[in-house]
Structure 1
Amino acid sequence: MRDLSFTSEDAYKKRLTYFKVIYFLGLAVTLVYLLKFNYQYGVSKYNPILIPTWITLLLIPPLSLRFSNNYLVSASILCVMAVVIVSYFLYLSGGIDAPGIFWLTAIPLICGILVGVPGAVLGYAIVTMVLIFFWYARASGFGPNIIAQYGNYGQEKLFNIILFLLFSGFNTHYYIRGEKSLMKNLEEKNLDIENLLRVLIHDIANTLSTMTYNLVKAKEDREEHSLSSLELDKIERAVDDIVNLLAQVRHLKSVKDGKAVMPLKPLNLTMVLNEVYENTVATAQQKGIKLQLDISRDRMPIHGEKTILSNVVLSNLINNAIKFSHPGERIDLRAYPTETEVVIEIRDYGIGIPKEILANIFNLNSQTTRPGTQGEKGTGYGMPLVREYLQMMDGTIEVFSSEETSSSAQSGTHVILKLPLAKTAI
């Protein structure tokens, strides 16, 4: 057991950083006062307690952290040592009349940063007990007052104020900046998890839709006593796609967590496009739309991830084109190589995209979903995912669209993808 209840490894590392900052600053500040007592005031009779206490502060917290590997125990020890040495310095400096009595407010701050809310509450309780003791000591007339004997109260108060502001200001600023950074990292990780869930929700739904259509066809063929092996092959491929997509989502989670890299492999883009065409042409025909394929005879070698490129990128874009096209229209799927890259164009002649949606089409936080020409539902997650995974493959995407109106001569959407050509042939 190393901690209280850290939500992530990043949270533990961040709290460990706070531990180190407070530890070193605490050592430095207490050493300053130890030297002042001995050299400025010339008081050494308290060294038998002060020096061992400071050495204990120097050694015990880091040694505890190293050998016990228990953050909670180590942080608690550091808090206790800080309370002891601060309280003792204040006691020697006059207790409730000490020029640096406000250093007690650092105790809840330190304990809160190190241990959280329970530490802060305990810190307030400790401060209350120390103040009660100091009041009792003054009322009873016991306890030393080194500042009154050897120092200048006004100068010492000013010195304490400056040092306290530096100490508390640095710790507070560092803590706020650290928590802000941690929150940003957590938000990014949550967004990554949401994106992976969107892959499952959005793209497996598309694959299941294709599989359902083929199952209906197979059932019709069986009733006519002529079950088509082609339909069964399509269903089998759809099942394989779902299995591969699930495996890829798990791997992409590892990529997002920094535990793996995107598995880019040599791909024959011509073959990938033909497979995507075969998987989506039935959906287009079901709506009465003609899907035209025009690709180069070249192999068009690229480096990519086949499942993501097929199911998340290309199928998404083609299904969007089908969704927003009217029955009887056509969709053009075209691909060709240039000197350095492959260009893939998907063009439909449907209802187009409104300007306000087009401007935010890759923004996950914007409302971009809308029904298709036959009421088909969407999630609005497809396009942001397409761009994210294209970027992982060093690709780009551009979307041009003209919205269908009563006065528009031609409407529709033109999507242009670009992927770098592989330097070596496949």
Structure 2
Amino acid sequence: MNKDLLRSLVAKLSSDPLLAKSIYIHIIATLSTGILMWSYAICAALTISSPIPAIVGIICSVIHLASPLLFSLTDNLVGVTLIMLIPGVIHQSSFAFFTGGFKSHILIWFGIIPLLAGIIEGRKSTLATTALVTTIAFVFLLLELAGFKFPDLISQEGEMFAQALLVFGYIAISSIVVFQYVGVTSRHSKSLEDQKDKTGRLLQILLHDMSNRIQLISLNNSALKRKITAEPALKNVKEIDNSLTGLGDIMASVRSMHLVDIQKKSLHLGPHNLNDVIKNSVNTFSDQLRINDQEIVFKEIEAEVLCDPLVLQNQVLNNLLSNAIKFSPSNSKIHISEASTQSHVVITIKDQGIGIPAPILSNLFNYSYDTTRLGARDEKGSGLGMIIAKSMVERMRGELKVESSTEVSKSGTSFAIKLIKAM
């Protein structure tokens, strides 16, 4: 029977890594606390004049030690954890009752029971054991206050031995359990990190292959556009072209968000001249500005800020300027201005566009809200640009704020990027 239980337990350990982790912690906790339980049982047998604490201690220690075998019969981690810990509570309560009641030092072990429950299983076991030990401790207290005379049947040598078990046992149990828990958690975290890296590489391959296919479809669609003259068919080709552009924007945003995640480990901040970064960003949109008959107006900015220039240009300014261009009418201007304080520099990008409706404005940086809408010339976007921009500004220890109006007389949007001034 025992061999069958062991075989079943080993099979579960091999098939379910997450359960194996929990069982491993359970076994470590059982063995380390089991030594103490048997020590207290022996102490009770040799130094307490009543046989009850020793009998209770031996029975509880056997149940406690056998508890890991229950995993071969059930996956109920809460149940098995409680079956392991409750005998310990009963053992401690019995020992305490015959060694002074509420004044017995062994009741201090009640404090470690919920800790073990939390490490082995989690909240449910923690709540259950907390309620149990608190209730028992409270009953001991009430009896003490009521004048109940608890028997104190332990010898002087036994009291010294029990005190030694308490001091050194508490140190050993807390050290062993926490050390093992930290070790298991570290290995689990490394496993998750490796999985994240694999997912990242898969995402890069997927984006690369999809980009190639989109480019191929776009080239063929452009060839069709030159050959087709019929208006209905030409309209369909243009819709395909717009959809491909929107899909390309979404993929670019996903790529940028992936880069944001990677750069959390490699972002290097240093003093950089704002003027150079802004000029490079504005030059990126020169063709689009010319086609839309738009203009970006800004004066020379001499201030230096603490930033990563490539991130500030590609993930922040490019997203904000692209947004301003997209939602501004033709023959309009976009203004970039700068204001400095003793410790910060604020860059403001203000357009004369259609503005952002209130529901979208209040959720502009919310991942779970769809903020996509058509631009002034029916351009499509991914709805992720502003989220990326805000995330990267905050990574550079800055702030990004937005104000917008949709009223015809004063429509437009203003983004303010606050960065630390380089000293």
TM-score normalised per structure 2: 0.51
What corresponds to 1:172 in structure 2? 117
Shift of the alpha carbon at 1:360? Answer: 1.8
2:397 corresponds to which letter in structure 1?
A: D
Q: Contact 1:296 / 1:337 at 8 angstroms: preserved in 2?
A: no
SS of the equivalent of 2:393 reads helix
SS of the equivalent of 2:319 reads helix
2:289 corresponds to which letter in structure 1?
A: A
Of 67, 80, 86, 1:107 maps to 67
Shift of the alpha carbon at 1:106? Answer: 8.0
Superimposed CA distance per residue, residues 5-60 of structure 1 (whole angstroms, 9 cap, x where no aligned partner): 8989xx999998766655544443343233223333688xx9xxxxxxxxxxxxxx
Shift of the alpha carbon at 1:319? Answer: 0.6
Q: Write the mapping of 1:143-154 to structure 2, written as runs, cut at 5 A.
A: none
Q: Contact 2:30 / 2:65 at 8 angstroms: preserved in 1?
A: no
What corresponds to 1:40 in structure 2? 48
How many residue pairs match? The answer is: 292
Aligned Cα root-mean-square deviation (Å): 5.7
* 1:400 equivalenced with 2:403 (yes/no): yes
Q: 1:307 to 1:105 in 2, by over 3 A?
A: same
Q: Contact 2:344 / 2:421 at 8 angstroms: preserved in 1?
A: yes
What corresponds to 1:28 in structure 2? 36
CA distance in 1, matches of 2:63, 2:353: 71
Q: Contact 1:292 / 1:330 at 8 angstroms: preserved in 2?
A: yes
Shift of the alpha carbon at 1:414? Answer: 0.6
Q: 1:92 to 1:312 in 2, by over 3 A?
A: closer
* 1:414 equivalenced with 2:414 (yes/no): yes
CA distance in 2, matches of 1:179, 1:317: 50
CA distance in 1, matches of 2:289, 2:16: 50
Shift of the alpha carbon at 1:321? Answer: 1.0
Of 354, 364, 368, 1:365 maps to 368
* 1:283 equivalenced with 2:288 (yes/no): yes
What corresponds to 1:223 in structure 2? none
Q: Write the mapping of 1:256-295 to structure 2, written as runs, cut at 5 A.
A: 256=264, 260-286=265-291, 288-295=292-299
Shift of the alpha carbon at 1:353? Answer: 1.1
**Share of identical aligned residues, percent?**
24
Of 320, 328, 331, 1:328 maps to 331
CA distance in 2, matches of 1:376, 1:176: 50
Shift of the alpha carbon at 1:357? Answer: 1.6
CA distance in 1, matches of 2:17, 2:331: 54
CA distance in 2, matches of 1:105, 1:394: 53
Question: Gapped runs of 5+ residues in structure 2?
Answer: 1-12, 85-90, 127-184, 223-250
SS of the equivalent of 1:409 reads helix
Q: 1:420 to 1:36 in 2, by over 3 A?
A: same
Q: Contact 2:327 / 2:375 at 8 angstroms: preserved in 1?
A: yes
What corresponds to 2:312 in structure 1? 309
CA distance in 1, matches of 2:348, 2:67: 64
Shift of the alpha carbon at 1:107? Answer: 1.7
SS of the equivalent of 2:349 reads strand
What corresponds to 1:387 in structure 2? 390
Question: Gapped runs of 5+ residues in structure 1?
Answer: 47-88, 94-99, 128-146, 217-241
Superimposed CA distance per residue, residues 402-425 of structure 1 (whole angstroms, 9 cap, x where no aligned partner): 124xxx4221111111111111xx
Q: Contact 1:14 / 1:178 at 8 angstroms: preserved in 2?
A: no
1:39 corresponds to which letter in structure 2?
A: T
CA distance in 2, matches of 1:306, 1:5: 49
Q: 1:417 to 1:21 in 2, by over 3 A?
A: farther
1:347 corresponds to which letter in structure 2?
A: K
